[in-house]
Amino acid sequence: MKKIQLYLLVALSVCFVTKTFSQNGKYDIVNGIGIFGGLTKVDLITDNFVTTQGDGFVGGMSATVEINHRWYNMSYGLHLSESTISILGRPTASSTTDEFVDYKLFAAQLALMMHVKLAGSYVTLDVGPMLQYNSRLEFEDKAQEGYFINNYDNLLATDISNISQFNLNGAVGVTAGFKFIKLRAHYIYGATNILKKLESEDIDTSGGDSRFKGNMSMLLFGAMISF
């Protein structure tokens, strides 16, 4: 319920800002509201665990603001995504058989992007920050809750689920297309330590590093239809 309330609040904020810009005579809303959808490749960059890249999907909306006689546009929007993150573990503490533990990660990203015009508004270089709220790590398979995480003696898969939920990201990429449809490829990197909260948890880190550091990495490929 808390996640739904947050998503609705951010969505209403985007609509309010769009209305504010449209009433300002100095700006011209280009393409109006855009609906976005695509696929993601997500990884957790860390020395604490062995990870592998997972798949996911993303959807959202955005509005682009053209500042007259400038070499760039600005946009703001909301992305909602669900992705898989896989961390290497083992069924028992003494097991010699390794197996990836699959977690689901839900995220809401509020983005403010600058679009540098490489070929008018048809091709742009996109760069900007994102404020992210994400869920805890949730198991895709409940049977893996009792698994042990590699690189540690007694660290359980459930012990590392309570990650930091507010994070700041940076995004860079390219958007290309025409007025009503555009393709987009972005690389998103987590500037903040998404594992930092684990250091305040009462967990057994024997056999490994008690300091946790990890940054989310996301590749995003998608298309946007504008109205």
Looking at residue 176, which CATH number applies to its domain? 2.40.160.20
Q: Find the range with the poorest average confidence among 55-69, 118-132, 180-194.
A: 55-69
Q: Which of 216, 211, 202 is nearest to 168 (CA)?
A: 216
Distance CA 96, CA 67 (A): 60
pLDDT in tens, 160-205: 999 999 999 999 999 999 988 999 999 999 999 999 999 999 999 9
Helix (H) or strand (E) holding 161: none
Average pLDDT estimate for 49-64: 96
Domain that holds residue 71: 2-226
pLDDT at res. 20: 45
Distance CA 154, CA 151 (A): 9
**Residue 18 predicted with pLDDT over 70:** no
pLDDT in tens, 128-163: 999 999 999 999 999 999 999 999 999 999 999 999
pLDDT at res. 33: 85
Q: Provide the number of structural domains found in the chain.
A: 1
